[in-house]
Amino acid sequence: MMPFGPGTWGSLVGLGLVYGLVRLLHHDPLTLQNWLIVASLGVTAVGIWAGNHAETIFGRKDPGQVVIDEVSGQMITFVFLAPYLERLGNAWIWWLIPGFILFRAGDILKPYPIDKLQDLSGGFGVMMDDVLAGIYAAVVLSLLLFILTS
């Protein structure tokens, strides 16, 4: 386990996965968007399963050793990036920074109803607050992209 900021490290893993997918599929935005959605759903499903087991193993709710929730939320943040790739050109990479910051802010500050989702039981409680933080970040990032690239 990382001695500090495990959620940030988990988010960086998600960011790395997004970077890899964009580099691999930037030429086909629709395929990229579909892969981001499928990958996010897959990571979320594995996270629900892992969260259930981790709570039993560590004997507490949403243990800090579990960071797959941040991986999922960070990936969700970028599901709307693909349609803007053509307009952004090589500058797309700079949009990873605000997406990272938006997700981390939502994950840390937990605006309503993100804070309530942690009360869900087992793996759902582990994952759903970060899933919603990712959705919030995706909406805000998409609005910023729309406003600044139009």
Average of pLDDT values for 100-123?
94
Model pTM score: 0.95
Whether the per-residue pLDDT at 122 is higher than 60: the answer is: yes
Mean pLDDT (the chain, rounded): 95
Quick: pLDDT tens for 17-59.
Answer: 999 999 999 999 999 999 999 999 999 999 999 999 999 999 8
CB 81 within 8 Å of CB 134:
no
CA distances to 10, 64, 65, 106, 115 from 2, in Å: 10, 10, 8, 21, 24
DSSP code for 91: G
